[in-house]
Amino acid sequence: MYVCNCFGITEAQVRQHAADGACTPRQIASASKAGTDCGSCVRRIQALLGRGACPRRDLLDQGEPAVALAPEVELPEAA
């Protein structure tokens, strides 16, 4: 079933992006453009994502700082 008619994005595609780590409608939009035209599908995307399906969101719900959720990166040496 189509979720986003503007870009032809299906429920299966949204679920796959969620399985790949997308936790928010904005992340789904970045991965597929769904929700970026008329916006009528954003609530459906939210419903498909649900609550508790994202480990990062679980950490935020537990009060962990967002910085703790950022991927590890090497910082350049100070000159």
**Could you read off the pLDDT of 17-49 as tens digits, one per residue?**
998 889 899 999 999 999 999 999 999 999 999
Q: How confident is the model at residue 13 (pLDDT cuts 50, 70, 90)?
A: very high
pLDDT tens profile 44-75: 999 999 865 565 555 555 655 544 444 555 65
Joined tokens for residue 51: 């609550």
**Measured distance CA(57)–CA(69) in Å, rounded:** 9
Model's pTM, two decimal places? Answer: 0.65
| pLDDT value at residue 34 | 96
Query: Distance (Å, rounded) from C-alpha 14 to C-alpha 17?
Result: 5
Tokens 């969620």 locate to 18
What is the full DSSP assignment across 59-79? HHHTT--GGGGSPP-PPPPP-
Contact 1, 11 (CB under 8 A): yes
